[in-house]
Structure 1
Amino acid sequence: MKKLPYYLLLVLAFSQVQAQKDFQGMAVYESKTQTPKFDGMRAGNRDITPEMQKSIEERMKQMLEKTFVLNFNKSASIYKEEEKLETPGQQGGGMRMMMSSMMGGGGTFYKDVKSKTYTVDKEFMGKEFLVKDSLPRLNWKLEQETKQIGGYNCYKATVVKEASQTDFRNFRPKNNDDKKDDAKKSSGDTKTNFEDSFEIPKEIIVTAWYTPEIPINQGPENYWGLPGLILEVNDGTTTILCSKIVLNAKEKADIKAPSKGKEISQKEYDETVVKKMKEFREMNRGRAGGPPMMGR
């Protein structure tokens, strides 16, 4: 077998390096969250009727079903909600933006797995924020269980992580004993107010499925750190599932961090949101109408 000339070896080596450098992909994710049940509750000082319950749950379902696009290369990615035209009758823009921000939407989520940092631009209550912080350390437990997603062989991984107190998707219904205690304290009957029927746990168990066939440690939202692209995530109430993958398309996405908004840490942003949530809760207490932060 003849040896290749030295200059050809250099060309091949350069081509391989360039191919790795130019590697890019796009993944589409469908996000769905279980709709909370509002039966047996009060909205302000009124019982939630079956008609109100149906209307609220339908609006919640629309807001809790989203499509996101992840553009990625070897070291960085941008994750953004796919823009959709609003249909007539949807709630006001400001309230919708606030709820979207609290349900995993709003802005461009940029992850740099090389520097282990992220940047996301968010609009909240009419103000623009640029949240910059370190990526969360996720101590994944790699499992042997496998399944196929879109033709890719995937492996299971689990992690216990702290639940964000500003993400509406983390709300869980209280158990019956807790509801009864709250009802006795508040009104003496079996009805409870909306805000007294749900709680946010301190920790949640997350199950992810990743494929080593796309060997990058990226994934949707702030999930990362597995030996392959994450194609599915489930945290008990929300499922994010990849529905489409395109690798090395001719048109390349511009993968760079957003830069617009007041720079702030994740902790500072969370404190701002929690403060506003408390203000809305106090404002809605004792008022007739829909549950807090739902709008009309």
Structure 2
Amino acid sequence: DNVPPNSWFNLPSAQQNNTIYTNVENATSVTQKKVFEETYLLKDSTRKITWKITDEFRNIAGYDCRRANAVIMDSVYVVAFYTDEIPVSGGPESFSGLPGMILGVALPREHTTWFATAVTDEPITADKIKIPAKGKAVDVKSLTEILKKALKNWGDGGNDIVRTSLL
């Protein structure tokens, strides 16, 4: 009954502290994820998301952003807000594929959001960008298998952890 406040069970997916490097030019990413006590290095192509752009707008961090909706991983509903004022197809975590920068993402079922509070336009030198290199190299399929095997007796709670880990 007394679950420590920093345990996996109390951490929403937004607090996983993943490190993600996305190469926009060749549509690949390297993600460093810590799941329980193990660190994994996931190299993959960027997630292909089929977005449905709506007519809804909202202001995020001083930018007019348009809403787009999608479903990923067969059942995870995603709401994103992007601005074409920043003409780069990117966003938080592994979310991209819209005609501008995603400044807000909500996963209602997961009770998770990422919203920009400020946007700066500062030059960053190449030596400041570090591609994650620490962790056990895996692909999505093998990470899924590892997690399912470790959590096979956890029922729905285990399935939730697997899903959250793969976001």
TM range (shorter): 0.7 to 0.9
Larger radius of gyration: 1
User: Is 1:120 matched up with 2:31?
Assistant: yes
Count of matched residue positions in the alignment of Structure 1 and Structure 2 = 151
* 4+ residue segments displaced more than 4 Å: 98-102
Conserved? CA contact 2:12–2:112, under 8 Å: no
In structure 2, do the counterparts of structure 1 residues 239 and 123 end up closer, same or farther at CA, with 3 Å as the change threshold?
closer
User: Per the alignment, in what secondary structure is the counterpart of residue 117 of structure 2?
Assistant: strand
Match of 1:206 among 55, 66, 78: 78
Listed as ranges, the matches of 1:24-173 within 5 Å are: 90-91=5-6, 96=7, 103-104=13-14, 105-162=16-73
Can you list the C-alpha shifts for 1:101-141, whole angstroms capped at 9, x where unaligned?
Answer: 88251441111122111111223343332111111111111
Q: Who is 2:161 aligned against?
A: none
How far, CA to CA, are the matches of 1:100 and 1:116 in structure 2?
33
Q: What amino acid is aligned across from residue 151 of structure 2 in structure 1?
A: M
Comparing both chains, which one has the higher relative contact order based on Cα–Cα distances under 8 Å and sequence gaps of 6 or more? 1
Conserved? CA contact 1:117–1:132, under 8 Å: yes
- Structure 1 stretches lacking a partner, 5+ long: 1-51, 60-89, 163-201, 283-296
In structure 2, do the counterparts of structure 1 residues 112 and 100 end up closer, same or farther at CA, with 3 Å as the change threshold?
farther
Q: Who is 2:114 aligned against?
A: 240
- Structure 2 stretches lacking a partner, 5+ long: 156-167
User: Per the alignment, in what secondary structure is the counterpart of residue 245 of structure 1?
Assistant: coil
In structure 2, do the counterparts of structure 1 residues 213 and 100 end up closer, same or farther at CA, with 3 Å as the change threshold?
farther
Q: Who is 2:160 aligned against?
A: none
How far, CA to CA, are the matches of 2:148 and 2:12 in structure 1?
11
In the superposition, the TM-score normalised over structure 1's length comes to: 0.46
Q: Who is 1:69 aligned against?
A: none
Q: How far apart are residue 100 of structure 1 and its match?
A: 8.2
Match of 1:218 among 87, 90, 96: 90
User: Is 1:271 matched up with 2:141?
Assistant: no
How far, CA to CA, are the matches of 2:60 and 2:35 in structure 1?
35
How far, CA to CA, are the matches of 1:126 and 1:204 in structure 2?
26
**CA RMSD between the two structures:** 2.6
Can you list the C-alpha shifts for 1:192-224, whole angstroms capped at 9, x where unaligned?
Answer: xxxxxxxxxx41221111011111101001100
User: Per the alignment, in what secondary structure is the counterpart of residue 220 of structure 1?
Assistant: coil
How far, CA to CA, are the matches of 1:256 and 1:101 in structure 2?
26
How far, CA to CA, are the matches of 2:71 and 2:36 in structure 1?
31
Q: How far apart are residue 157 of structure 1 and its match?
A: 0.9
User: Is 1:257 matched up with 2:131?
Assistant: yes
How far, CA to CA, are the matches of 2:36 and 2:96 in structure 1?
29
Q: How far apart are residue 99 of structure 1 and its match?
A: 5.3
User: Per the alignment, in what secondary structure is the counterpart of residue 258 of structure 1?
Assistant: coil
Conserved? CA contact 2:54–2:66, under 8 Å: yes
